[in-house]
Structure formats: structure tokens, C-alpha cells
């Protein structure tokens, strides 16, 4: 299968050198002029001659850039279904936005994303007309179940939980269809980090363990019983039960920050860094699907870092505080 990606792998290697380095991001945090930061980003390929990146439009420009990266990757991959692991979150994001907007009787179409497997306009039609033709089986189930659960609970967060459950069901199917151990391993770790973040927040909310059991996403390496066995513990105690798993650092160090201050920032940062560290394993693969998947992960993280820097600058946060929130880079 690796030989099917000879050109794609070579192209991706050439593009990796254009990724922003950790030093460039640190320099941006120190810059006193946000226009200078925008100029650096423009030179790095964000924005175009007719749509220059500015502090006012950076969200739109980044959204367009992300869609462009996905479109390019799909073409390089010969439309490999494996790349749908990155597209399904956009589909389910759109489903969440539309269902919540419907519940509030408002229009939030400006929040819709365009890099899913289904166009935003098609998802709008599916929700408005309750039409499931064109949706995956899991999307159809999510649409029906989320409507029902919200009607019974009037809790918009339940829409998120239902959609996330079915989103990862689709992601797991795509990963398994790829028959690629790197992709399947990434998805399993991704699910573990999602479950850990959900576990931490549900505990903080004071919800019973049954609540977490209902929103737990299967498919990771950490069984639900490991989480449930730690439900009454503080994170220092719980850390011992996660020593055999890749998320142990997030539990011990990130969990300690939650115990001490109630701040989730460190836990979320460590979870994201674990995924970046995993993605770097693709650097040892000469030709194959792995470099392309890793490149998309790197681009997603880069866009997240740019948002952190620009949002921090606009909020007049200190350079130190912005840097604390930045994740590791792919370099």
C-alpha cells in the first residue's frame, strides 16, 4: 500500500518544511504588533492576495485554509476513506450547531464548517427536513437520538454527547477500513484523551458515575471500568490506575492541576501533546498513508496554535500566558 502514496509522501515532506516552528510561534507571542504577526502568517501561506489575513478576519481565513488543506490531502490520497477521520468532526459539528440553533429558534449558519464529508447545505436540509438520505447510518442515528434526548432533558450538552458518540463510531469505522495500524492507533489514543477530558469535567460537575458511563466513547485503549473505578478518587489517587496507559501523564500532571486549582488547561494541553508525539512516528515511514495523516494532524495543530496566539494578543494576554497555552509542534 505504501507505493500508492509515493507522490503524496514526497509532496508532504516538502510541505513539512513550511510548517511554523516552535521558535516562530514563541516570537509571535513576544511581538507587540499584531499586524507584524499577521504578515508572518501571510508569508507562511495563510491568506491570499485578495484576502489578506488581518486581526479582524483571521477566523475566516483560518477556516478557509483548513478547508484547503483537507481538499489537497483528499486529492493526494486518491480519496482514501482513512482521511474521513478528520472530516467527520466537521459533519458532527454542523449537526450540533443546527440542532442547538433549532432548539433556540435562531440562525447560526455562520458557524458551519465546510470540510466535512457532507456539505453544510446538505446537512442543513437533513436537519430541517429530518431527511437521512445521504447521511451515514451513525449520523442518522445521531440526528434522531439527539432530538429525542434534548426533548426529554432540555439539556443542550446532551446533543454534544450524543453527536460525539456517533462521530467516533464513524471515525472508528474509517480507521478500521484503512487497515493501517498507525491510523487505528491514533484514533484509539484520540478517544482515550476525549474520554479523559469528559471524565474530568463530569466529575467536576458532580454528576454520578452513571452519567459518565452513558457518555463514554468506546474504541480507546482504556476501558470504561478503569475510569469508573477511579470515579470517587482525586486525581492523585486515580493516577496509579492509569500507569499502564499512554494518558498517564495527563491524568497525573493535568489531574493534579484540576485538584489544586480547578483549571483544565494543563490536562487539555498534555492530551493534545500526546497526539502530536504520536503523530511524529510517521517520520520513520518513507512512503505510505502515515506521512499524509501526520501532515494533516500537524496542520490542524498549527491552526489551533495560530488561534491561541491571535486570540491571546487581541485579549491583551501576557506572552507568558499565551505560551503556556501553546501545544508542541510537529518539528
pLDDT on residue 70: 86
The answer to whether 82 touches 74, Cβ cutoff 8 Å, is no
**pLDDT > 90: what percent of the chain?**
80
Q: Residue 212 and residue 200: Cα distance in Å, rounded?
A: 10
Residue 254 half-sphere exposure toward CB, CA atoms < 13 A: 24
Contacts 24+ apart (CB under 8 A), 127-131: 127/95, 127/98, 127/99, 127/102, 128/98
- Alpha carbon 82 to its chain centroid, in Å, reads 16
Q: pLDDT band for position 72 (50/70/90)? A: confident
> Tens digits of per-residue pLDDT, 20-41?
999 999 999 999 999 999 999 9
Cite the residue boundaries of each domain of the chain with CATH code 1.20.1690.10: 180-281
Higher pLDDT pick, 51 / 196 = 196
Q: Is residue 307 classed as helix, strand or coil in its secondary structure?
A: helix
Contacts 24+ apart (CB under 8 A), 32-39: 34/310, 34/313, 34/314, 37/309, 37/310, 37/313
Assign domain 180-281 to a CATH class. Answer: mainly alpha
Residues, the chain: 331
Q: pLDDT band for position 3 (50/70/90)? A: low
> Tens digits of per-residue pLDDT, 155-191?
898 999 999 999 999 999 999 999 999 999 999 999 9
Q: Residue 10 and residue 13: Cα distance in Å, rounded?
A: 5
Q: Of the given ranges (32-36, 66-70, 306-310), which has the lowest mean pLDDT? A: 66-70
* DSSP-assigned beta bridge partners for residue 48: 51
DSSP element (H, E) containing 164: helix 156-178
Q: Is residue 51 classed as helix, strand or coil in its secondary structure?
A: strand
| CATH 1.10.10 is the classification of domain 85-179 | no
- Is the predicted pLDDT of residue 294 greater than 80, yes or no? yes
Q: Residue 136 and residue 214: Cα distance in Å, rounded?
A: 22
Q: Residue 221 and residue 250: Cα distance in Å, rounded?
A: 15
Amino acid at each position: 500500500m505504501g507505493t500508492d502514496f509515493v507522490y503524496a509522501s514526497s509532496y508532504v515532506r516538502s510541505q513539512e518544511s513550511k510548517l511554523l516552528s516552535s521558535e516562530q510561534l514563541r516570537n509571535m507571542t513576544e511581538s507587540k504588533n499584531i499586524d507584524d504577526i499577521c504578515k508572518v502568517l501571510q508569508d507562511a501561506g495563510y491568506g491570499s492576495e485578495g484576502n489578506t489575513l488581518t486581526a479582524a478576519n483571521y477566523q475566516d481565513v483560518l477556516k478557509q485554509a483548513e478547508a484547503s488543506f483537507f481538499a489537497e490531502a483528499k486529492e493526494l490520497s486518491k480519496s482514501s476513506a482513512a482521511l474521513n477521520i478528520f472530516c467527520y468532526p466537521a459533519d458532527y459539528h454542523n449537526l450540533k450547531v443546527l440542532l442547538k440553533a433549532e432548539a433556540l429558534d435562531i440562525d447560526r449558519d455562520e458557524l458551519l464548517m465546510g470540510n466535512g464529508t457532507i456539505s453544510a447545505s446538505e446537512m442543513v436540509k437533513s436537519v430541517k427536513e429530518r431527511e437521512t438520505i445521504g447521511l451515514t447510518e451513525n449520523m442518522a442515528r445521531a440526528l434522531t437520538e439527539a432530538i429525542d434526548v434534548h426533548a426529554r432533558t432540555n439539556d443542550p450538552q446532551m446533543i454534544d454527547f450524543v453527536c460525539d458518540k456517533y462521530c467516533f463510531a464513524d471515525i472508528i469505522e474509517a480507521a478500521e477500513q484503512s487497515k493501517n495500524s498507525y491510523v487505528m492507533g491514533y484514533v484509539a489514543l484520540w478517544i482515550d484523551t476525549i474520554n479523559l477530558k469528559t471524565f474530568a469535567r463530569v466529575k467536576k460537575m458532580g454528576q454520578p458515575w452513571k452519567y459518565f458511563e452513558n457518555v463514554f466513547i468506546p474504541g480507546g485503549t482504556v476501558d470504561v471500568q478503569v475510569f469508573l473505578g477511579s470515579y470517587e478518587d482525586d486525581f492523585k489517587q486515580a493516577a496509579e490506575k492509569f500507569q499502564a496507559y499512554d494518558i498517564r501523564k495527563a491524568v497525573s500532571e493535568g489531574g493534579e492541576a484540576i485538584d489544586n486549582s480547578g483549571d483544565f488547561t494543563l490536562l487539555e494541553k498534555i492530551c493534545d501533546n500526546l497526539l502530536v508525539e504520536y503523530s511524529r512516528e510517521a517520520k520513520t515511514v518513507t512512503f505510505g498513508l502515515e506521512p499524509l495523516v501526520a501532515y494533516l494532524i500537524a496542520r490542524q495543530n498549527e491552526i489551533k496554535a495560530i488561534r491561541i496566539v491571535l486570540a491571546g494578543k487581541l485579549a491583551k494576554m501576557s506572552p507568558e500566558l499565551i505560551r503556556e497555552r501553546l501545544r508542541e509542534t510537529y518539528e
